[in-house]
């Protein structure tokens, strides 16, 4: 009862002070499975990057890249910025990035954030991850502590990666971009262009593939990544899938396996933005390196991803949804087992950069639009 009273007080005070941005608007768009019902739940967000649903229909947490964490109620009311959030390095692609809840959130109320952190040589930055306890009244993160830092810090504003995924055993995977320093993705003494696996408190598991190897970072689970912008656990197999930006061409999906090298920059389907070849590239395939599970020769600029295993929309069962920034679409991939057998592009009518995609507890698909006036949209079949 005390928690409910605190929550009611918070809603009455903070939400009344928030901007009146709730204005649900619904559009009906066509798709191969029928009419889409697309409802804007909230607008007025400043370059939102990620969302996480709270249990028991308490709404969602949304990150804004400039450094704010906001609470959005189930009916679309928007809170003021929560307290206790770390200072972020908000330049270029940097800022406050992903958000994830502890697997034991109902017991520990821990919220995990990834973000760009400054302090590197010559003013450079890298990805950091920390956690704090969400206050009962949803007003702040309490006792926030950093549990992981990308080392060294090499980014001047690009390629932070930074998706957070817990697996079925409670390990935390963190995707890390190569900070736009290509060769570091192959350097095992650096944390650029890697996916790392740690315990929720930041400790390194003893069974990570490179533990106890001299000159190798023990956190590393896989390497040869460029700039992973999406990651999700396959709900049917329990495996980690990751999506990453190629350069000009060569966006790809990878199924992540222990200790594998995914090739960048030695293996790529893309070229430099100038049109010239990647200097280090040896071809699209290189012996001993994992090939992409799925690749786009022309880059949509893929971002967040979510598997659909809900019961609400049977037509979407065994589908994978991926946001697209450059082509401004929601990509629907139909799967047969792990194989991609069909692709459909959705929501182009919104003309919006789709940054994150999540399946909601209500069985709808939710997307974030990356803009000065970004929003949360709920997508379903009519």
Q: Would you name the residues annotated as active-site residues? A: 159
Cβ atoms of 336 and 356 closer than 8 Å: no
SS3 percent helix, strand, coil of the chain, rounded to 5, is 10, 45, 50
Distance CA 354, CA 370 (A): 6
Cβ atoms of 69 and 85 closer than 8 Å: yes
Q: Report the phi/psi class of residue 282: left, alpha or beta, with left for phi > 0 and alpha for psi in -120 to 50.
A: alpha
Q: Is 326 exposed, middle or buried (0-12, 13-18, 19+ CB in 10 A)?
A: middle
CB half-sphere exposure, 215, CA atoms < 13 A:
2
Q: In angstroms, how far apart are the furthest CA atoms of the chain?
A: 64
Starting from the edge strand earliest in sequence, which strands make up the sheet with 339-346, in order?
302-308, 319-324, 329-336, 339-346
Tokens of 154: 């090499």
Length of the chain as a residue count: 382
- The continuous run of DSSP H or E covering 12 comes out as helix 2-17
DSSP secondary structure string for all residues of 294-336: EEESS---EEEEEEE--SS-GGGTTEEEEEETTTTEEEEEEEE
Hey, which bits of 32-86 come out as E strands? 34-45, 48-53, 60-64, 68-72
Tokens of 168: 């079925």
CA 326 to each of CA 169, 251, 281, 319, 352: distance values in angstroms, whole numbers, following the listed order: 35, 11, 24, 22, 9
Q: List residues bridging with 156 in a β-sheet.
A: none
DSSP-derived pairing of the beta strands 25-31 and 48-53: unpaired
- What lies within 8 Å, CB to CB, of 67 at 6+ separation is 85, 87, 88, 90, 95, 96, 115
């Amino acid at each position: 009862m005390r928690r409910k009273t605190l929550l009611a007080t918070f809603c009455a005070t903070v939400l009344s002070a928030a901007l009146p941005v709730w204005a649900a608007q619904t559009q009906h768009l066509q798709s191969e499975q029928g009419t889409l019902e697309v409802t804007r739940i909230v607008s007025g967000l400043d370059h939102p990057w990620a969302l996480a649903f709270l249990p028991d229909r308490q709404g969602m947490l949304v990150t804004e890249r400039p450094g704010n964490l906001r609470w959005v109620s189930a009916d679309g009311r928007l809170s003021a910025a929560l307290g206790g959030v770390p200072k972020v390095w908000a330049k270029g692609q940097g800022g406050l990035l992903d958000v994830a809840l502890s697997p034991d959130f109902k017991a520990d109320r821990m919220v995990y954030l990834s973000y760009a952190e400054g302090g590197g040589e010559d003013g450079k930055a890298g990805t950091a991850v920390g956690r704090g306890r969400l206050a009962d009244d949803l007003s702040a993160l309490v006792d926030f502590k950093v549990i992981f830092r990308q080392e060294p810090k090499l980014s001047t504003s690009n390629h932070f990666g930074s998706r957070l995924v817990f697996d079925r055993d409670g390990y935390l995977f963190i995707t890390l971009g190569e900070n736009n320093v290509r060769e570091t993705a192959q350097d095992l003494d650096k944390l650029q262009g890697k996916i790392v696996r740690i315990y929720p408190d930041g400790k390194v598991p003893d069974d990570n593939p490179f533990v106890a190897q001299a000159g190798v970072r023990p956190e590393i689970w896989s390497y040869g990544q460029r700039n992973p912008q999406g990651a999700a656990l396959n709900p049917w197999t329990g495996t980690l899938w990751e999506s990453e930006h190629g350069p000009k061409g060569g966006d790809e999906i990878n199924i992540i396996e222990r200790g594998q090298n995914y090739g960048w920059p030695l293996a790529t389907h893309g070229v430099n933005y100038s049109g010239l070849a990647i200097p280090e590239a040896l071809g699209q395939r290189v012996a001993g390196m994992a090939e992409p599970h799925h690749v786009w020769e022309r880059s949509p600029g893929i971002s967040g991803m979510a598997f659909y295993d809900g019961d609400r929309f049977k037509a979407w069962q065994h589908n994978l949804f991926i946001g697209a920034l450059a082509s401004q679409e929601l990509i629907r991939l139909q799967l047969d087992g792990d194989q991609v057998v069909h692709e459909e592009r959705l929501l182009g009518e919104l003309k919006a950069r789709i940054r994150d995609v999540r399946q909601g507890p209500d069985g709808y698909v939710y997307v974030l639009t990356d803009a000065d006036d970004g929003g949360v949209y709920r997508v379903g079949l009519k």
